């Protein structure tokens, strides 16, 4: 009798567990935040907004897995530097051929400091051989090859740690450095955040489809103008978010030149299936012209 009772108890528990799993699976997926909510719903920092939404499976679907890229004829090397808290950070560094106070900080996509970003640093070094190029490693040596790993590394990259890494890079450049920033996606957002952290040392900021800052008080502290490149078919930042960014920059009394292309997210990455050659070439030509004008004035 006891055996039968135990058997029936196990059966009932199994049925209950199966029903619970089935009910969970039928739950609708979390709704995507509206464009307006990205601007007004959050009281947290923009960098925390990124970590809140951009580690979801839905966001990951906007990022096709990149193809492998082989890095050849490199001139850079991995370096370490101290952060304000006493920890160390690292980056891919190409030293200027002549003594210079000019630095271009290159900031990775959400995949990490992979060969694509190092290649972008190498390209800039060839265009501007008398400028120091530092590709900042925002994931402390971790590089994602899949969406799942990218989400794990993004989730682990706290805003405090990311700020420490950037502040350490600014310290590495030195108090007399003229700092220019460029980044894509996650790095586009951090290109602007780095310019804000650099204060009066910030001399130019380039954003490729990065999440804008929406805090007017912060934007008012920005010391340089911004040039941005965005995809009209992108979901984040989409056209509504970009328009709000333009309005916020104007309200803050800052200059933003925003270029839009009929392309999707990650259009400037040749290892991305969404790569748009025409848009990339136009954006890169404008990037070089922007940097040449800024650097010529120093």
**What pairing do the DSSP bridges indicate for beta strands 132-136 and 88-94?**
antiparallel
In tens, the pLDDT along 245-283 reads 999 999 999 999 999 999 998 899 887 888 999 999 999
In tens, the pLDDT along 31-48 reads 434 444 433 333 347 766
- The pLDDT value recorded for residue 133 is 98
Q: How far apart are CA 192 and CA 213, in angstroms?
A: 8
Using alpha carbons, list the distances in angstroms from residue 157 to 55, 66, 121, 141, 198. Answer: 11, 21, 22, 12, 20
Mind listing the domains of the chain with CATH numbers? 42-296 (3.40.50.1820)
pTM for the whole thing?
Answer: 0.82
In tens, the pLDDT along 49-105 reads 655 555 566 666 666 677 777 888 899 999 999 999 999 999 999 999 999 999 999
In tens, the pLDDT along 280-298 reads 999 999 999 999 999 998 7
Spell out the long-range contacts of 2-8 with Cβ–Cβ below 8 A and sequence spacing 24 or more: none
Q: How far apart are CA 211 and CA 198, in angstroms?
A: 18
Q: How far apart are CA 298 and CA 293, in angstroms?
A: 9
Tell me the angle at which helices 46-53 and 159-173 cross, rounded to the nearest 10 degrees: 130
**What pairing do the DSSP bridges indicate for beta strands 102-107 and 132-136?**
parallel
Q: Which residue in 201, 169, 197, 188 sits closest to 256, CA to CA?
A: 188
Phi/psi for 65 (5° steps) reads -60, 125
């Amino acid at each position: 009798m006891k055996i039968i009772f135990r058997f029936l108890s196990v059966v009932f528990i199994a049925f209950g567990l199966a029903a619970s799993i089935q009910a969970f699976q039928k739950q609708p997926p979390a709704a995507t935040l509206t464009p307006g909510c990205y601007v007004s719903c959050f009281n947290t920092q923009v960098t925390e907004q990124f970590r809140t939404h951009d580690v979801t499976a839905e966001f990951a679907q906007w990022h096709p897995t990149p193809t492998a890229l082989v890095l050849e004829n490199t001139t850079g090397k991995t370096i370490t530097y101290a952060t304000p808290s006493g920890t160390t950070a690292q980056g891919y560094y190409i030293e200027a051929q002549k003594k210079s106070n000019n630095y271009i900080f290159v900031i990775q996509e959400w995949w990490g400091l992979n060969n694509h970003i190092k290649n972008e640093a190498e390209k800039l070094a060839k265009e501007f051989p008398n400028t120091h190029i530092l590709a900042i490693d925002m994931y402390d040596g971790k590089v994602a090859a899949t969406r799942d790993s990218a989400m794990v590394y993004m989730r682990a990259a706290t805003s405090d740690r990311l700020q420490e890494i950037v502040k350490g890079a600014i310290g590495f450049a030195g108090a007399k450095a003229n700092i220019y920033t460029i980044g894509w996606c996650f790095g586009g957002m951090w290109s602007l955040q780095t310019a804000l952290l650099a204060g009066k040392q910030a001399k130019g900021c380039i954003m490729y489809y990065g999440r804008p800052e929406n805090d007017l008080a912060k934007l008012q502290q920005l010391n340089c103008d911004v040039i941005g490149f965005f995809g009209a078919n992108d979901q984040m930042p989409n056209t509504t978010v970009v328009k709000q960014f333009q309005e916020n920059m104007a309200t803050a009394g800052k200059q933003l030149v925003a270029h839009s292309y009929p392309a999707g997210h990650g259009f400037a990455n040749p290892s991305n299936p969404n790569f748009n050659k025409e848009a990339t070439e136009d954006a890169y030509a404008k990037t070089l012209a922007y940097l040449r004008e800024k650097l010529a004035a120093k």
